[in-house]
Structure 1
Amino acid sequence: MTANPIPYPFRRPGPLAVPKELGALRDEPVLRVILPSGDEAYLVTRHEDVRDVLTDLRVSRNLNRPGAPRVSKNNMMFQDSKMDPDPPEHTRVRRLVMKAFTATRVERLRPRVQEITDELIDAMAAKTPPVNVSEELSFPLSIRVICDLLGVPAHDQHRFRRWTDHFLSTGKYTREQIHGALGELNEYMGALIAAKRENPADDLVSALINVHDEDDTRLSEYELHWWCRLLLLIGYETTASQLGLTVAKLLAEPEQLRLLRADERLLSGAVEELLRWKLMSGSLSMLRYVTEDIVVGGVTIPKGSGVIPAVESANWDERVFDRPDDLDITRAENPHLTFSVGPHFCIGAALARVELETALATLLRRFPTLRLAIPAEELRRTEGTLIESLIEIPIAW
């Protein structure tokens, strides 16, 4: 293990490239790193070890402890002393949320996702290219879908972009700015829940209210507010950013784009491969706390340490993925960990896949000559935020 900690997340050599460190760091199963907050943590690099850490009950998501590492000095992110993010308490609440976030509910949304996608692409096609696919498709699609699912009125949807931007800041905003934005969101969510109690509908917020009101020992009022707020905040930013980066990366890979245009049956594999590339960001959101000494790859990580299962490194592990540095939409086996694994597997994974597949297929069908309007290397990435994306993705046809 390296003697001196290195800054994390790693810098990318280009907007659609992976960090150079990923090519060599798996020679060391564990690295010491410095987070944006200045705190130190251990970074786990190999696929097998990352899976083990993500499922190890001695590795806690509860960072509400004295001396626990922080992602950011100004932002507590997902830390909340009133919420227990570990099993069995987390499992109890998550199971209740999942009942309202079922595969059936997500599948019922597929026609609506297609309808919104068609509407947005119709509007985009009426414009003179180049257009910014992030603003014309990625973000509005994701916002409208999650708001439909949650039952948020359409006229309120424009407000969430700013709130989410502040919530996910690792250095972009001051502590006061973050607290102010989250205070506005908390007020909004309280009013929305009150309105849904008065007039319930076939949406996720109403379903969660029903779980609470049927038996308030199953889902407390605070848990109800917390989960509604969390699903709203992260329910669209990740998918929107992934969609924009997916379009940009695919358009920058002409051979892979040609394969997909020739055979739309490759669409699902293309989405999984682009998820494996994890172009959005590193794994800061995976930060954990070790409650007992653990041994990873022969290295002891001591009790009380911060640990990050580096999903982007696991997705690049040549022990698991043949030619990991090649984008290959025909890859037969793709056990990437982008949606995590174990008790904290992403509950929005199915919805994200529906949105990505629908938007990508429709874009390529509607625009046979779709291309990036500028060289890929001139694209610019966002900075100072937990979920990275591209500032602008100009496309033409």
Structure 2
Amino acid sequence: MTTVPDLPDAAEALEHFPFDDGRGIGVNERFRELRQRKGLYRVRFAYGEPTWLVTRYEDARLVLGDPRFSRAMSIGRDYPRQEEGTDVARLMTLDAPEHTRLRKLLAKALSKSRMDAQRPTVHAAADDLLSSAMKAGPGMDIVVDYAQQISVRSLCDLLGVPASDREAFESTSAALLPGSGVGPEDMTRRFGVLRTCTEQFIAERRARPRDDLMSALIEARDDEDRLTHTELIDLVFTLLVAGFETIITQIPNCVHVLTRGDRVLWNRLRANPAELPAAVEELLRNNASAGAGMFVRYAREDVNVGGTLVRAGEALTVVNESANHDPARFEDPDAIDFTRPRGGHLTFGHGAHYCPGAQLGRIELQEGLRVLLTRTPQLTVRNVTWKKRPHVRGPETMRVTWQGD
């Protein structure tokens, strides 16, 4: 039977969401309770209008994959969010048919063969970064000195960005991250520098195309339809936002999980490197790295979701970290099981807005971990400072050394 709750008026206080300050990568216990109760639960973020929380796996797939739920309806609205700023990646806030056209063109450029061809480059970058860190001292900050640099190098290499322009890409990518602390004036300045570099870069590639992603994006066409100049800029920003944060968060998160306690998981992967792809998928599912408030949709019409009638024009927020721990979909969901059947987790989203760079993210994570597992068998986490950002959970800093206790 459909639950039609009495909605509180705008002045009535709703429970604040997220339910914690984001430190650590454990899944908040409150989600277990919400998955078991009937219907959806209505909350309010720090900014924006109220939203329904979607915490069960089946409901999350419905909202993420059904065209009755819109991302574009958030444009121009006071949508639910944790910070005052708004989205900057236009592709993330489009609906069909515009999104379908751009996504199709992007998919041609981000082909599996092109992504797979990046693996040796990513591995070499990780290997070089670790060698440099080892020469510099007995340890490193794995966030800044390793994961962030892998992301910058592989993304710039994929796009074909000249080494002289990489600082602008890295600087702006870091500023785009939620909670970066970069003020609006500095953000505007960095965007200006990046836009100038990108426009010059596009012009050069139009004149002299190469075998890189930017050339492929310039040449991408659907029948006679090319990407416009503005769309090229938007897609570069989308790739920066989607690709940068994922890898600099997930490598440290995975190292933290694998090396904690008696290090059984770390030692298992060292002994069985063929398990690494399956291990990465399971860690992506298990780690609460990007869940609270990243997937806001609006109902285009009245829709029943999880026993609640969501009215047209109401917001819904998918909490993928909760959906990834739903026992109705994953047996013993809190356990880390490298033999679990692969696929199905929602860490990269689902449906039309499934992360276009998911394959590259997997490669970066696999190779970043592979180098550490191979070359630092006694890698030990010495100190962790956690971010206080519930929508992007992970270390702000993580000091590691090459030797055990």
Paired residue for 2:100? 91
Paired residue for 1:359? 368
Deviations 1:303-348 (A, max 9, x none): 1111112111100101111222222333235521111111111111
Task: Please show how residues 39-54 of structure 1 align to structure 2 within 5 Å.
Answer: 39-54=49-64
> Do 1:288 and 1:308's aligned partners in 2 also have CA atoms closer than 8 Å?
yes
1:35 aligns with 2:45: yes
> Do 1:172 and 1:385's aligned partners in 2 also have CA atoms closer than 8 Å?
no
Alignment match of 2:133 (pick from 124, 131, 140):
124
Deviations 1:169-204 (A, max 9, x none): 358344444334333332332222122223221111
1:389 aligns with 2:391: no
Q: Distance in 2 between matches of 1:100 and 1:171?
A: 30
Paired residue for 2:228? 220
Return 5+ residue gaps in structure 1 as ranges. Answer: none
Q: Distance in 1 between matches of 2:139 and 2:252?
A: 15
Task: Report how far residue 87 of structure 1 moved.
Answer: 1.3
Q: Which secondary structure does the structure 2 equivalent of 1:393 belong to?
A: strand
Q: Which secondary structure does the structure 2 equivalent of 1:347 belong to?
A: coil
Counterpart residue type for residue 293 of structure 2: L
1:60 aligns with 2:65: no
Between 98-107 and 186-195, the greater mean CA deviation after superposition:
186-195
Paired residue for 1:156? 165
Deviations 1:219-276 (A, max 9, x none): 2222122112221333222122111211122112522223222322221121011100
Q: Distance in 1 between matches of 2:89 and 2:121?
A: 34
Between 19-28 and 174-183, the greater mean CA deviation after superposition:
174-183
Q: Which secondary structure does the structure 1 equivalent of 2:396 belong to?
A: coil
Q: Distance in 1 between matches of 2:364 and 2:200?
A: 28
Paired residue for 2:211? 202
Task: Report how far residue 57 of structure 1 moved.
Answer: 0.6
> Do 2:47 and 2:82's aligned partners in 1 also have CA atoms closer than 8 Å?
yes
Between 380-389 and 252-261, the greater mean CA deviation after superposition:
380-389
Task: Report how far residue 84 of structure 1 moved.
Answer: 6.6
Deviations 1:285-317 (A, max 9, x none): 211121111111110111111111211110010
Q: Which secondary structure does the structure 1 equivalent of 2:317 belong to?
A: strand
Q: Distance in 1 between matches of 2:92 and 2:58?
A: 29
Q: Distance in 2 between matches of 1:352 and 1:31?
A: 32
> Do 2:25 and 2:289's aligned partners in 1 also have CA atoms closer than 8 Å?
no
With over 3 angstroms needed to count, the CA separation of the structure-2 counterparts of 1:14 and 1:163, relative to structure 1, is closer
Q: Distance in 1 between matches of 2:180 and 2:398?
A: 23
With over 3 angstroms needed to count, the CA separation of the structure-2 counterparts of 1:342 and 1:219, relative to structure 1, is same
Paired residue for 2:237? 229
Q: Which secondary structure does the structure 2 equivalent of 1:7 belong to?
A: coil
Give the CA RMSD over aligned residues. Answer: 2.6
With over 3 angstroms needed to count, the CA separation of the structure-2 counterparts of 1:79 and 1:33, relative to structure 1, is farther
> Do 1:32 and 1:43's aligned partners in 2 also have CA atoms closer than 8 Å?
yes
Deviations 1:29-68 (A, max 9, x none): 4121222324321111110110111111110010455545
Paired residue for 2:294? 285
> Do 2:291 and 2:390's aligned partners in 1 also have CA atoms closer than 8 Å?
no
Return 5+ residue gaps in structure 2 as ranges. Answer: none
Counterpart residue type for residue 219 of structure 1: L
With over 3 angstroms needed to count, the CA separation of the structure-2 counterparts of 1:15 and 1:385, relative to structure 1, is closer
With over 3 angstroms needed to count, the CA separation of the structure-2 counterparts of 1:83 and 1:23, relative to structure 1, is closer
Between 250-259 and 201-210, the greater mean CA deviation after superposition:
250-259
Paired residue for 2:187? 178
Paired residue for 1:270? 279
Between 177-186 and 191-200, the greater mean CA deviation after superposition:
177-186
Q: Distance in 2 between matches of 1:289 and 1:170?
A: 24
TM-score normalised to structure 1 length: 0.90
Between 240-249 and 181-190, the greater mean CA deviation after superposition:
181-190
Q: Distance in 1 between matches of 2:144 and 2:63?
A: 37
Q: Which secondary structure does the structure 1 equivalent of 2:385 belong to?
A: coil
> Do 1:164 and 1:234's aligned partners in 2 also have CA atoms closer than 8 Å?
no
